[in-house]
A and B are shown apart, each in its own frame.
Chain A
């Protein structure tokens, strides 16, 4: 089945630790995105990438880093510089041939602080 796979489903971070969230898609989509979801707030864009080896900061990129070495993969690292990392992280992908292409989402990773 085509889709977006995020792992792990739950992740715990210790103080001063970097953690990496995985996102893989087999939809042959060009663009991939990372969002953060907090209770009572809309999804906020962290990073996005439209092509391999290129990515841009979203609205809340501080304390996060990404890479796009393969079209199918877009891992997100939450660094120790991110002081409030507890949230639900969602990865999405879309085509970019034309505008108005819907983004399709994985089932998220819930990150908590130990």
Chain B
């Protein structure tokens, strides 16, 4: 069965304290891996797409990496405005079907 697991479930950081979020997956025929940011009461906001093992994407303080079994979202010197839930999703099949993980709730304190 296709499955996506995110860890940790929740993460509390001090401002400037770098860390990583993990997304591990067991799927057949991975077509792509997506990272989203979700603020409370809002819809997910697209961050990155990763296609193949070894690929990296960066945006401001965020960097996403991909291996054959997992992806990491590295947050460098986070700020309080980075506080959100970060969702990982994998695409399988031919119609853009996404399987989502349960997310990591990140809180960055000043």
Contacts and interface: CB of A to CB of B under 8 A. Distances in A.
B98 A108 contact: no
A103 B49 CA distance: 11
Interface in A10-64: 31, 35, 40-45, 48, 50, 56
21 contacts: A31-B95, A35-B100, A40-B102, A42-B4, A42-B100, A43-B44, A43-B89, A43-B100, A48-B95, A48-B96, A48-B97, A50-B95, A94-B96, A99-B32, A100-B49, A100-B91, A102-B34, A102-B46, A103-B46, A105-B44, A108-B42
Interface of B: 4, 31-32, 34, 36, 41-46, 49, 51, 87, 89, 91, 94-103
Pick the 9 closest A-B CB pairs, nearest first.
A105-B43, A42-B100, A100-B32, A43-B100, A102-B46, A107-B43, A42-B102, A105-B44, A99-B31
A48 B96 CA distance: 10
A42 B101 contact: yes
A102 B49 contact: yes
Contact of B87 (A6, A43, A106): A43
Contacts of B98: 43, 45, 103
Contacts of A6: 43
A90 interface: yes
A25 B4 CA distance: 28
B65 to A, nearest CB: 17
B50 to A, nearest CB: 9
Nearest to B102: A42
B91 A90 contact: no
A105 B87 CA distance: 13
A42 B103 contact: yes
A35 B95 CA distance: 15
A42 B87 contact: yes
Which of B34, B87, B97: most chain A Cβ within 10 A?
B97
A80 to B, nearest CB: 27
Contact of A31 (B45, B87, B96, B103): B96
A101 interface: yes
